[in-house]
Amino acid sequence: MSKANEGDWVQVHYMGKLVNGEIFDQSNGRPPLEFQIGGGQVIPGFEQATIGMDIGESKSIHIPSDEAYGPYEQDMVITVDRGEFPPSVDPMIGQPLQIQQQDGNVVIVTVKAVTESHVTLDANHPLAGEDLTFDIELVGISQEPTMDHGCPGCHQDNDQCCDQGQCDHDHHH
């Protein structure tokens, strides 16, 4: 039986947990997550954990925040005048929003606080600063992708998934 190596496409089932045991994401009830080892489609610690695994093998891995979504950066939290929002937008705490930067890049932010005059936005990934634990099971290895990869892990076109903040996976592009 071959082991997963750099360059292979792997299919894994997983359950992601925070240090306190709270499950933040899992593939249960969905097709397995497929990615190419070395392709940078998932967080580095997750990708590295699959190297050397056999099909059918399971393991639990701990990924420190610097190998996951990085540290929480306070400078990625900004407060803006509520008047900068169109009248049709009523920001609510926890709501994800897309903000277009001056250079044209789109950033997904989360509304952290709302007052009559200001809105606080956080551009950190929701899991930034968190150490993570994943239970993973390698269910397939191939030399080519076996699923649609418009959005790794979502099996949808990027325009209808991650770019619109609708992706329910915690993966890194």
Q: What is the helix (H) or strand (E) element at residue 1, kind and residue range?
A: none
Distance of CA 32 to the CA centre of its chain: 15
Which range has the worst mean pLDDT, 77-86, 135-144, 151-160? 151-160
Strand order in the sheet with 77-81: 77-81, 118-122, 106-114, 96-100
CA distances from 25 to 18, 49, 76, 131, 153 (A): 10, 17, 24, 14, 12
Percent over 70 (pLDDT), the chain: 84
Given a cut of 50, whether residue 134 has pLDDT beyond it is yes
pLDDT band at 101 (very low <50, low <70, confident <90, very high): confident
Please give the pLDDT value at position 148.
64
Among the listed residues 55, 59, 63, the one whose alpha carbon sits nearest the alpha carbon of residue 24: 63
| pLDDT of residue 109 exceeding 80 | yes
Average of per-residue pLDDT values in the chain: 86
Question: Kindly report the CA angle at 170 between 111 and 148, in degrees rounded to 5?
Answer: 125
Domain residue ranges of the chain, discontinuous segments joined by +: 9-69+127-164, 74-122
Token pair 């209808």 is found at 160
Could you say which of 1.20.120.1200, 2.40.10.330, 2.140.10.10, 3.40.50.2300 is the CATH number of the domain covering 74-122?
2.40.10.330
Annotation: CATH topology of 9-69+127-164: Chitinase A; domain 3 (3.10.50)
Asked if 9-69+127-164 and 74-122 have one fold, the answer is no
- pTM, entire model: 0.72
